[in-house]
């Protein structure tokens, strides 16, 4: 099949998807075949919810990762873009499982971070954290990412605790008709993304993307991943005010899990399969640039199949009686534990933004959603649900020409925790144009995840843990028909946070410099811990003091230099071993993006993360011999050359070297039984082709 044929077929499929899935067979108004209609109606694009305070006047500290930074990053995973955020740490639990922590206190399922894709929460209902590697988005689908550093639960809802990561996808027709990005290189990197953007006769603008992300991960872990993903976004303008947004995301993943060198580890290498489907439908009525309301429905579902092959020698029977022998004999009888799970999320949200007058602007809204999770191994035989209902309001009052008051509050009723209130009060003061000072206090809650609240772990074991011994005899010799059983008593309740912060934002347009600094004191209370029986309860306190500075300088059209620094100090009176070093004391992020000539572009993206440890990587008292991951210097280099390929309106070939400074330990400090360090992040080099046609 030649390329035009293929294009036509994909285009037909895309058109079918639009009319079939979106039901968009509505009358057209905006197909401007009449040139006089150049002057005719257009939708309100910069509507009330899209217009925000100028960034320097925002009530929160916001890091914006824009298209230029995304393109210059050399990243393959969206999570890697978080390296730009001062104080953020991106750790690779294994070569294909990135974890993002914004302010320490975090393990694999960093759960105090709200992650939104076009306004819908995408963190997993079961664990409460984000599975970045499963996001069915290509980097080409992204317009920008706004990261709010610090809590903002009053506006962005539950989990907006340590921060909010707001992923905004590109408007459907912002790309060329077709866009192709392909990466191929070391460690089995084989990524592909093909997107088609177009408009239908009825004025619907849409983009459909299909892609694959694949790599062999780290040498030292069984972590090969291959993901197929697809997403579709359409915008149908019903009339000059009303529009219908429809989005669909789907992914199919296969990823290896476990550890090499299996003695002492319960997870021998095994594949994990997962798939997901997310749908979002939003009706927006943009009455003017000052008033807008929208209502949205979203549905998400995912299924993970994870048959964990357990090594019999790890069973209590063997470790109790034959520890020495276990190290010598081969695995006598492997058996698989069904560690799979399914999740589902359905929600409806309404939001109304309007302006009372020149000085006062308000937003209010309400949301209700149901999370559902099923897992025989983790949650017992019954599906577990969480019902969330929240109402919120946000009020901005420009009460003096230099001063603005920001007041926000949210009431949240969650079936997993007590009803709670999160609030924010901030003043911004702009005594001179381009210089804004900010003073704010906020409170936020993190409701427990379904797992933390309802864990009911049982590993059903086949007839006997030892061949030829009847199951009835097993308890008598120290085994159990259920080898491990933890039944959470449901004590977990809200984690609480209050923050005081001061900030300063500056904009020197004549020098093309923007900068921002923030100092914050965060008081965490009732942080979740686990008792000796594996039961979650609110036990810990931590004080976090952090300061950061970001400066971006664009001295000319060809050069961009950005620096982001952070200092963080954590002190926990209740569990210093776990928390005090759960964030690096210092992080540095440097980006230099240089268009060397019309054809050549060079970018260098460096991050230094001070020594730290992740809270679930063995706490410092637990593993005193080797508790801390040493400081990491992570450098990515990208050199791109513009091509003039026939048939492409734009094309570029780039060489990308991730982790150019070489191997470092990432995430786990542990050492495998065979003496090999468990997570060594290697250098990864690949060629990247980007073409638009």
Partner 1 sequence: MRIFQRIGFAFLLLIPLMGWAAEVLSVRLIGGEAGFSAQVQARIETLIRQVEPDVNFVESFPSASRRLLIAIGAKGWRTIEGAPVDLPILAVLPPRLPYDLVATTSNRPMSAVYGDMPPGRFFNFVQLLSPKKGSTVALIAGPSLLPRVSRFESFAAERNMHLHVEKIERESDVGPAVERGVQHASLMLALPDPVAHTAATVPPLLLITYRAGVPVVAYSEAYLRAGAVAALYATPEQIAQQVLEIVSAYKQGKPLPPAQTLKYFTVGLNTSVARSLGLTLPPAEELETRLRQMKE
- Report in angstroms how near the CB of residue 73 gets to partner 1 at its nearest: 16
Does 324 contact partner 1 by CB under 8 A? no
Q: How many helices (H) and strands (E) does the chain have?
A: 8, 35
240-259: contacts with partner 1 (CB under 8 A):
240
Q: Is 11 helix (H, G, I), strand (E, B) or coil?
A: helix
Please pick, from the candidates 3, 6, 25, 42, the single residue that binds partner 1 as defined by CB under 8 A: 42
Please pick, from the candidates 235, 412, 540, 666, the single residue that binds partner 1 as defined by CB under 8 A: 235
- Report in angstroms how near the CB of residue 46 gets to partner 1 at its nearest: 3
Residue with tokens 């965060």: 522
CA 613 to chain CA mean position, Å: 20
Does 35 contact partner 1 by CB under 8 A? yes
What are phi and psi for residue 175, nearest 5 degrees?
-95, 170
Does 8 contact partner 1 by CB under 8 A? no
**Reduced to 3 DSSP states, what percent helix, strand and coil does the chain have, rounded to the nearest 5?**
15, 50, 35
- C-alpha to C-alpha distance for 245 and 22, rounded to whole angstroms: 9
Nearer to partner 1, 510 or 625 (CB): 510
Other beta carbons within 10 Å of 431: 9
For residues 249 and 277, is the Cβ–Cβ distance under 8 A?
yes
Specify the stretch interacting with partner 1 by CB under 8 A; choose among 26-34, 482-490, 598-606, 608-616: 26-34
Does 45 contact partner 1 by CB under 8 A? yes
Does 38 contact partner 1 by CB under 8 A? yes
- C-alpha to C-alpha distance for 418 and 412, rounded to whole angstroms: 9
Nearer to partner 1, 111 or 204 (CB): 204
Does 67 contact partner 1 by CB under 8 A? yes
Does 346 contact partner 1 by CB under 8 A? no
- Report in angstroms how near the CB of residue 107 gets to partner 1 at its nearest: 34
134-173: contacts with partner 1 (CB under 8 A):
143-144, 170-173
- The contact mask relative to partner 1 for 258-297 (x = CB under 8 A, - = no) is ------------------------------xxx-------
- The contact mask relative to partner 1 for 649-668 (x = CB under 8 A, - = no) is xx------------------
Does 432 contact partner 1 by CB under 8 A? no
Does 621 contact partner 1 by CB under 8 A? no
- C-alpha to C-alpha distance for 513 and 139, rounded to whole angstroms: 27
Residue with tokens 């021998």: 268
- C-alpha to C-alpha distance for 296 and 226, rounded to whole angstroms: 32
Does 507 contact partner 1 by CB under 8 A? yes
Nearer to partner 1, 256 or 292 (CB): 292
- Residues constituting the chain: 693
Does 51 contact partner 1 by CB under 8 A? yes
**Measured distance between the N- and C-terminal CA atoms of the chain, rounded to whole angstroms:** 18
For residues 225 and 197, is the Cβ–Cβ distance under 8 A?
no
Other beta carbons within 10 Å of 167: 23
Does 239 contact partner 1 by CB under 8 A? no
Nearer to partner 1, 25 or 45 (CB): 45
Residue with tokens 């920008």: 144
Residue 521: strand pairing partners: 500, 545
Does 175 contact partner 1 by CB under 8 A? yes
Nearest of 395, 399, 393, 394 to residue 430 by alpha carbon? 399
Does 53 contact partner 1 by CB under 8 A? yes
- Report in angstroms how near the CB of residue 553 gets to partner 1 at its nearest: 15
* Tokens, residue 170: 């590109």
Q: Is 327 helix (H, G, I), strand (E, B) or coil?
A: helix
Contacting residues toward partner 1, per CB under 8 A: 30-46, 48, 50-54, 56-57, 66-68, 143-144, 170-177, 197-199, 203, 205, 235, 237, 240, 288-290, 355, 507, 557, 649-650, 692
């Amino acid at each position: 099949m030649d390329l035009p044929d293929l294009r036509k077929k994909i285009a037909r499929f895309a058109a079918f998807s639009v009319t079939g899935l979106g039901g968009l067979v509505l009358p057209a108004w905006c197909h401007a075949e009449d040139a006089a209609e150049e002057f005719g109606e257009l939708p309100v694009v910069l509507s009330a919810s899209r217009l925000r305070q100028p960034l320097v006047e925002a009530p929160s500290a916001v890091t914006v990762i824009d298209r230029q930074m995304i393109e210059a990053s050399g990243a393959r995973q969206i999570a890697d873009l978080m390296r730009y955020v001062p104080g953020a740490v991106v750790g690779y639990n294994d070569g294909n499982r990135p974890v993002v922590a914004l302010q320490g206190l975090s393990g694999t399922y960093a759960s105090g971070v709200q992650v939104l894709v076009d306004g819908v929460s995408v963190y997993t209902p079961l664990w409460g954290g984000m599975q970045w590697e499963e996001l069915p988005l290509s980097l080409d689908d992204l317009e920008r990412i706004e990261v709010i550093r610090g809590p903002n639960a009053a506006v962005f809802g539950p989990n907006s605790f340590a921060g909010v990561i707001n992923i905004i996808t590109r408007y459907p027709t912002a790309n060329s008709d077709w866009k192709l990005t392909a990466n191929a290189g070391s460690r089995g990197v084989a990524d592909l993304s093909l997107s088609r953007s177009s408009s239908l006769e009825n004025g619907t603008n849409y983009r459909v993307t299909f892609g694959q992300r694949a790599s062999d991960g780290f040498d030292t872990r069984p972590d090969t991943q291959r993901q197929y993903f697809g997403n579709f976004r359409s915008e149908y303008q019903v009339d000059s005010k009303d529009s219908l947004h429809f989005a669909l995301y789907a992914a199919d993943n296969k990823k290896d899990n476990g550890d090499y060198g299996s003695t002492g580890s319960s997870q021998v290498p095994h594949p994990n399969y997962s798939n997901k489907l997310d749908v979002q439908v939003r009706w927006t009525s943009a009455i003017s640039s000052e008033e807008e309301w929208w209502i949205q429905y979203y549905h998400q579902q995912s299924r993970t199949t994870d048959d964990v092959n357990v090594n019999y020698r790890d069973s209590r029977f063997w470790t109790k009686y034959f520890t020495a022998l276990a190290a010598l004999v081969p695995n006598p009888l492997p058996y698989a534990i069904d560690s799979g799970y399914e999740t589902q999320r359905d929600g409806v949200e309404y939001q109304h933004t309007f302006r009372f007058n020149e000085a006062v602007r308000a937003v209010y809204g309400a949301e209700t959603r149901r999370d559902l999770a099923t897992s025989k191994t983790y949650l017992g035989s019954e599906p577990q649900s969480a019902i969330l209902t929240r109402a919120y309001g946000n009020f901005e009052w420009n009460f003096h020409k230099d001063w603005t008051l920001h007041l926000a509050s949210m009431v949240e009723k969650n079936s997993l925790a007590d009803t709670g209130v999160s609030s924010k009060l901030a003043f911004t003061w702009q005594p001179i144009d381009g210089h804004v000072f900010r003073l704010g206090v906020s409170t936020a809650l993190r409701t427990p995840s379904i797992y933390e609240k309802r864990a009911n772990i049982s590993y059903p074991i086949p007839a006997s843990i030892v061949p030829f011994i009847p199951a009835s005899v097993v308890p008598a010799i120290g085994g159990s028909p259920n080898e491990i059983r933890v039944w959470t008593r449901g004590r977990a309740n809200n984690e609480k946070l209050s923050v005081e912060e001061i900030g300063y934002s500056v904009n020197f347009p004549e020098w093309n410099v923007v900068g921002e600094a923030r100092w914050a004191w965060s008081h965490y209370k009732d942080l979740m811990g686990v008792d000796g029986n594996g039961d979650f309860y609110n036990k810990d306190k931590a004080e976090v003091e952090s300061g950061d500075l970001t400066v971006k300088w664009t001295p000319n059209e060809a050069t961009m230099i950005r620096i982001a620094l952070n200092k963080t100090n954590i002190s926990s009176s209740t569990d210093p071993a776990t928390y005090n070093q759960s964030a690096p004391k210092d992080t540095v992020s440097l980006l230099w993006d240089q268009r060397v000539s019309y054809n050549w572009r060079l970018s260098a993206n460096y991050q230094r993360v001070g020594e730290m440890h992740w809270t679930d990587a063995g706490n410092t008292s637990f593993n005193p011999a080797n508790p801390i991951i040493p400081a990491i210097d992570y450098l990515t280099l990208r050199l791109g050359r513009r091509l003039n390929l026939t048939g492409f309106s734009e094309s570029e070939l780039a060489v990308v070297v991730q982790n150019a400074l070489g191997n470092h330990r990432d995430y786990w400090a542990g050492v495998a039984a065979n003496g090999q360090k468990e997570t060594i992040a290697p250098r990864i080099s690949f060629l990247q082709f980007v073409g638009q046609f």
